[in-house]
Amino acid sequence: MNQERPLHRSSVRELRDAVASGERSAEEVTRAHLDRIRETDGDWNAFIHVADDAALAAAQAVDQRRSAGEPARALEGVPVAIKDQIVTKGIPTTAGSRMLKGFVPPYDATVVERLRAAGAIIIGKTNQDEFAMGSSNENSAHGPCANPWDGTRVPGGSSGGSAAAVAGGQVPLALGTDTGGSIRQPASLCGVVGLKPTYGRVSRRGAIAFASSLDQIGPLGRTVEDVALGLEVLAGADSRDSTCSTEPVQDYSAQIEEGIAGLRVGLPEEYFGEGIEPGVLDSVREGVRRLEAEGAVVQPVRLPHTEYSIATYYLLATAEASSNLARYDGIRYGHRAEGEDLGLEELYAQTRAEGFGPEVRRRIMLGTFALSSGYYDAFYDKAQRVRTLIRDDFVAAFEQVDVLATPTSPVVAFPRGSRVDDPLQMYLMDIFTLSASLAGLPGISVPCGFSDGLPVGLQLLAAPLQESMLLRAARAHERQFADAGAWPGEGGP
C-alpha cells in the first residue's frame, strides 16, 4: 500500500488487502474516512447522516475478528456509504424526504445485511433527490449536494450524494439506486464508475420502492475493479424478493482483465443525435476509440423506439410511484400533520402535502391520473405495450452486437438552480439511461474524458445478466484512459 498517499485515496481492493494483511486496522481506515467526511461535507452535503459511532463499533468488531484469526472477508474493513433510499437497521433512513423524518428502520436491506456479513463498515447515509425522483439532487429535503469537481454545480441524481462521496474520497464505495438512470447519470457527472445491474440481479428488499418494476440497487466506485468487488457481494438470489434472479453470481473482479478482443460494440444511431453537448460527444467518441484499441469491433445499430422511452418511462414510473408512495399517510411512522380537529381525509391530505416535496407530489399526481378509471388503457396499458417494443429493440440489437456504447448524459454537470424551473428539461437528462431501465438491462457509466474541466461518462449496456462482459469492457476502457482515477481539484485536466 502506498504510504505517501492519504488513506482516503485508497481503492476498495487496497483497503481490503491492507486490513486483511494487518497492515492497517479497520478502525484506522474508518477514522480516516470519517475525518475526510468531517473536513469536506460542510461544503458538499453528500451525507444526510454519518453513523460515526456505529461505524467505529463495527470497525472495532472487524479488528477483533482479525486478531482472533478469523479469515478475512470480501470487504473486510472497507467503509461503504449507503444511499438514504436503502433501509439500515438502527440508522435513520429518510429517502431524502421530510415524510420520513425520524424514521429508524427495524431491519436491514438485504444488500446491507450482505455488506455487513462481508466485513464492510456502514459509514452513513448519502444525500439524494427525494424518493429517488430527480436528476440533480436538488429535490432533497436535506438541501442540495455539491459536485466535488465544482461546488456550484450539481452532482446529478438521484444518487448524487453517493456519487459525490466517492468522487471526493469520502468513501471508496457507495450504494445507489437506479430507476431510470439514478446511478449512471450522477456517476457520469461526478467522474466515477456506476453500475446498474440487470433488473433482479440484486435484491430490492430494503430499497424504498419508487417504481418497483424498474428499481435496482448498484455500486459506485472509483475503479471498475472496485465496482466489480462490490457487485460480487451485493448480487445473488434472495428468497425475500420474488423478482430477484436465482442465476449464479460470477467472479466479476477476477474476470475483468480477460480483455475484449473481438467484442462487438454497437453505437445506437438514436443516441448520437441532436441535443448532446459537443464536448460530451467528443469524449464519448474518444472512449469508443479506446475500446477499439483494446480489440473491440465497432458497428452502428438501430434502436428505433428510443424516442418513446421518456414518455413511456414517465407514465410507468409515476404510476408505480403513486402506488408505492400511498403508504406514507402519517398513521404509522414518519411525518404527520398537526391539527386539533383534522378529519381523516384532511389528515391524509395535509400530511402528504407537507411531507412530500413538489416533484414527488407532481409524480404522484401524474401516476394517479395514468392509472385512473377511464385513462388506464390510453396511458398505463399503452405504455406497457411500448415498453415491450423498447425491450424488443434491444433483443434485436444484441443479436448483432455484445455491448452498446452511448453517452451516459447529454451534458456535463450543470450549475445548481439552472434547470429546476423546467421539469421537462430535467426529465431530458435521463434520455440515454431510461431505455435500458425499461428493458431491465445492466448498464455502467465510466469516466471517459472531460469537457470544460468537468467529467464525461461513457455508458455501456449489455444483455440481461451480462454484467461480467460489461465490466470487462469497462475495465478495458479504463486501461486505455490516461485520466482514469483523476481527483477533483488536483492534477486534473
Partner 1 sequence: MSDWETVIGLEVHAQLSTATKIFSACPHGGAQGPNQNVDPVSLGLPGTLPVLNRDVVRGAVMMGLATGSTIASVCRFARKHYFYPDLPKGYQISQFDEPICEHGFVNIPLAGGGEKRIGITRIHMEDDAGKTVHDPQRGVSRVDYNRAGVPLIEIVSEPELSHPDEVVAYLKILHRIVRFLGISDGNMEVGNFRCDANISLRPVGSEVLGTRAELKNMNSFRNVHRALIHEVERQRRVLEGGGEVVQETRLWDDVAARTETMRSKEDAHDYRYFNDPDLLPIHLDEDWIRELKASLPELPAEREARYRDTLGLGAYDAGVLTGSPELADYYDAVIGVPGTDPKKAANWVSTELLGQLAREDKDIGESPVSPAQLARILALMEEGTISSKMAKEVFDRVFREGIEPDAVVAEVGGQITDSDQLLKIVREVIGENPSQADQYREGKTQVLGFFVGRVMAATRGKANPPLVNELLKKELDA
Catalytic sites, residue numbers? 83, 158, 182
- Paired sense of beta strands 121-126 and 79-83, if any: parallel
Binding of partner 1 by 51 (CB under 8 A): no
**Residue 63 lies near partner 1 (rule: CB under 8 A):** no
Q: Which is nearer to partner 1, 255 or 368 (CB)?
A: 368
CB of 246 vs partner 1, minimal distance in Å? 12
The three-point CA angle 403-407-413 to 5° equals 145
Strand-pair partners of 457:
447
Taking the CA of residue 287 as centre, how many other CA atoms within 13 Å lie in the half-sphere pointing to its CB? 32
Only one of the segments 38-46, 47-55, 87-95, 396-404 lies at the binding site for partner 1 (rule: CB under 8 A); that segment is: 87-95
Span near partner 1 by CB under 8 A; candidates 28-36, 54-62, 133-141, 314-322: 314-322
Please identify, using beta-carbon distances, which residue of 244 and 256 lies nearer to partner 1: 244
In the list 149, 271, 380, 481, the residue contacting partner 1 (rule: CB under 8 A) is 380
The secondary structure of residue 339, as a DSSP letter, is -
- 350 is a contact residue toward partner 1 (CB under 8 A): no
Least gap, CB of 204 to partner 1 (angstroms):
6
Query: What are the phi and psi torsion angles at 193 (to 5°)?
Result: -95, 130
Residue 168 near residue 46 (C-beta atoms within 8 A): yes
**Buried b / exposed e across 350-375, counting CB within 10 Å, b at 16+?**
bbbeebbbebbeebbebbbebbeeee
Instruction: Figure out which of the listed residues 45, 93, 283, 408 binds partner 1, where binding follows CB under 8 A.
Output: 93
Q: Is 193 in the site for partner 1 (CB under 8 A)?
A: no
3-state secondary structure of 428: helix
Residue 15: which of 87, 103, 101, 121 has the closest Cα? 121
- 104 touches 92 (CB < 8 A): yes
- What residues numbered 202-261 form the site for partner 1, per CB under 8 A? 204-209, 211-213, 239-243
Nearer to partner 1, 87 or 229 (CB): 87
Q: Which is nearer to partner 1, 35 or 241 (CB)?
A: 241
| Region binding partner 1 by CB under 8 A among candidate stretches 43-51, 98-106, 153-161, 268-276 | 98-106
Under the binding rule (CB under 8 A), the answer on residue 86 touching partner 1 is yes
Q: Is the dihedral of CA 44, 47, 49, 54 positive or negative?
A: negative
Per-residue b/e over 171-185, b at no fewer than 16 CB within 10 Å?
Answer: bbbbbbbbbbbbbbb
Among 9, 255, 281, 333, binds partner 1 (CB under 8 A): 333
Amino acid at 151: G
Residue 145 and residue 165: Cα distance in Å, rounded? 10
For partner 1, which is the closer residue by CB, 191 or 206? Answer: 206
Sole window of 99-107, 138-146, 269-277, 466-474 interacting with partner 1 (rule: CB under 8 A): 99-107
**Interface contacts to partner 1, rule CB under 8 A:** 86-87, 93, 95, 100, 103, 105-107, 109, 204-209, 211-213, 239-243, 319-320, 322-323, 325-329, 331-333, 344, 348, 368, 371-373, 376, 380
